[in-house]
């Protein structure tokens, strides 16, 4: 008999109603999944890379053919506005296409000059079973940006997804099944977070990638370090959005509203701290607030919804507590900031100004549709504030002087810095952070090589 503790419940954050339930995997099932993955690796790594690329292209086709179905699963489980969910599935197809077209090139042997009469080069070999611990906020994209390059390289993947998106985890497994990948090439583990340590310590698992909170990253890195297993961590972010005195204020404000509230504000690379030169501060705040107030908050299944609910009730409540504490410390609410009376885990897009140092909006990662705006006197003060965070994921600089903008990218402590654009992930570009935002890189050539053994090969004739 199945008990309540044996299942994951998918709660619709827009209605607070329980939808599907999914049985947890027990120890025997976990062991079977890891055994199958380990056995599959030996045959999968031996396949010609062109075969693996071809299957990724098939996965892209599956995603495009069933994008509405997968998008609606995301919307039901974590509240993403459905048009953004469709775009997320399309982006997953893009990353599959990218590695279907470029994996062989990224993994080709690198010739290295050695001694006369020798052949020396480096080649990239897969590691084996890679455990992916993934979050709920981009429940398809976060997985595919790991899975596409890792599978193309010849690894196999095991996914421990967030407990509130079990349907998404099984849907992703289904994508690879439909695309013709062998059993065990990619599998979902429906387990609690408490089971992760044991899976990492299992000898069949060779590496771990995690996207999530800093405490989760610290725990995973600690366990993997004890086992001497490779890790890639993409953790929190408190991205600065720097608007200099010569910036196009209207363009900056329009993009800032999008960058802060995309995915209902639940994004590591969202613009969170808006650092604005005093010469354009008033104009930016007025335009920014107007753009934010024009966003449509509502039912995520409706095509015109810009901002849906927060993914869980506790996340919404924690977000409001950060706003409340920041206001008590002296911050001013320009718009939003009030808990709605209606059902669902909704929170209004909020703009805070006069944000004092030390309050949550200034020092913590605010994971929801809440923007903090800071006034600065000059470029140096803007950079000092931008770099004052413990995080270093992304950053955005706004200026009409492109040479100045490019120069400033070298002074900002971040894994990615964009000039006159919101921070984004792109299969063609390396993605990752520094400081408390993690280490390692995903996507591009760097991402596919993270979970490979870069093996040096030296060949010379006998007797030389």
Contacts with 92 (C-beta within 8 Å, 6 or more apart), sequence order: 63, 140, 141, 144
Q: What is the pLDDT of residue 464?
A: 67
Domain 239-426 coded CATH 3.40.50.2300: no
362-385: burial string, b at 16+ Cβ within 10 Å, e else: bbbbbbbbbbbbbbbeebeebbeb
Q: Tell me the mean pLDDT in the region 192-205.
A: 98
Residue 1 has pLDDT above 80, yes or no: no
Instruction: For domain 4-235+438-458, give its CATH number from 3.90.1150.10, 3.40.605.10, 3.40.50.720, 3.40.50.970.
Output: 3.40.605.10
Residue 40 tokens, joined: 């599959």
Q: What is the pLDDT of residue 387?
A: 98
C-alpha 157/C-alpha 151 separation (Å) is: 7
Q: Tell me the mean pLDDT in the region 415-441.
A: 98
Residues of the chain with CATH 3.40.309.10: 239-426
Q: Tell me the mean pLDDT in the region 365-382.
A: 98
Q: Tell me the mean pLDDT in the region 385-393.
A: 98
- H helices of 130-203, in order, are 141-152, 166-178, 196-201
Supply the residues annotated as catalytic.
234, 268
Residue 108 has pLDDT above 80, yes or no: yes
Residue 364 has pLDDT above 80, yes or no: yes
Q: Tell me the mean pLDDT in the region 309-325.
A: 98
Residue 432 has pLDDT above 90, yes or no: yes
Q: Tell me the mean pLDDT in the region 339-355.
A: 96
C-alpha 152/C-alpha 445 separation (Å) is: 12
| CA distance from start to end of the chain | 71
Residue 5 has pLDDT above 90, yes or no: no
**pLDDT tens string 21-56:** 999 999 999 999 999 999 999 999 999 999 999 999
Query: CA torsion, points 372, 377, 382, 385, in degrees to nearest 10?
Result: -60
Question: Strands 332-335, 350-353: parallel, antiparallel or unpaired by DSSP?
Answer: antiparallel
| Placement of tokens 């179905």 in the chain | 69
pLDDT band at 20 (very low <50, low <70, confident <90, very high): very high
Q: Tell me the mean pLDDT in the region 88-97.
A: 98
Most distant CA atoms of the chain, gap in Å: 83
Per-chain mean pLDDT for the chain: 97
Percent of the chain's residues with pLDDT above 90: 96
Residue 117 has pLDDT above 90, yes or no: no
Residues of the chain with CATH 3.40.605.10: 4-235+438-458
Q: What is the pLDDT of residue 2?
A: 43
């Amino acid at each position: 008999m199945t008990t309540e503790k044996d299942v994951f419940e998918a709660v619709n954050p827009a209605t607070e109603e329980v939808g599907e339930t999914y049985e947890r995997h027990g120890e025997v099932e976990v062991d079977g999944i890891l055994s199958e993955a380990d056995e599959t690796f030996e045959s999968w790594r031996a396949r010609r890379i062109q075969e693996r690329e071809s299957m990724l292209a098939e996965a892209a086709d599956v995603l495009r053919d069933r994008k509405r179905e997968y998008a609606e699963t995301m919307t039901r489980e974590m509240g993403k506005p459905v048009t953004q969910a469709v775009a997320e599935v399309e982006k997953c197809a893009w990353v599959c296409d990218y590695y279907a077209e470029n994996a062989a090139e990224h993994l080709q042997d690198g010739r290295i000059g050695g001694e006369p009469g020798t052949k020396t080069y480096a080649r990239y070999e897969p590691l084996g079973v890679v455990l992916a611990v993934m979050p709920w906020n981009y429940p398809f994209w976060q997985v595919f940006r790991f899975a596409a390059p890792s599978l193309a390289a010849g690894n196999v993947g095991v996914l421990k997804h967030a407990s509130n998106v079990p349907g998404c985890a099984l849907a992703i497994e289904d994508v690879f099944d439909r695309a013709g990948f062998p059993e065990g090439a990619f599998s979902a583990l429906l387990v609690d977070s408490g089971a992760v340590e044991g899976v990492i310590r299992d000898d069949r698992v060779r590496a771990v990638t995690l996207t999530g909170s800093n405490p989760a990253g610290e725990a995973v890195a600690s366990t993997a370090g004890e086992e001497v297993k490779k890790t890639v961590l993409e953790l929190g972010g408190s991205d600065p959005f720097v608007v200099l005195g010569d910036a196009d204020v209207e363009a900056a404000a329009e993009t800032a509203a999008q960058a802060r509230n995309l995915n209902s504000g639940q994004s590591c690379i969202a613009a969170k701290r808006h650092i604005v030169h005093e010469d354009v501060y008033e104009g930016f705040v007025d335009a920014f607030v107007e753009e934010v107030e024009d966003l449509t908050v509502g039912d995520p299944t409706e095509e015109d919804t810009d901002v849906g609910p927060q993914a869980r009730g506790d996340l919404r409540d924690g977000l409001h507590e950060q706003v409340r504490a920041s206001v008590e410390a002296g911050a001013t609410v320009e718009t939003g900031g009030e808990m709605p009376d209606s059902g669902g885990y909704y929170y209004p897009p909020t703009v805070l100004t006069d944000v004092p140092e030390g309050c949550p909006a200034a020092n913590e990662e605010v994971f929801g549709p809440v923007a903090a705006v800071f006034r600065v006197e000059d470029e140096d003060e803007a950079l000092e504030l931008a770099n004052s965070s413990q995080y270093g994921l992304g950053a955005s600089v706004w200026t009409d002087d492109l040479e100045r903008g490019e120069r400033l990218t070298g002074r900002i402590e971040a894994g990615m810095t964009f000039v006159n654009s919101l921070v984004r992930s792109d299969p063609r570009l390396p993605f990752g952070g520094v400081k408390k935002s993690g280490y390692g890189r995903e996507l591009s050539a760097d991402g596919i090589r993270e979970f490979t053994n870069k093996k040096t090969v030296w060949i010379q004739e006998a007797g030389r």
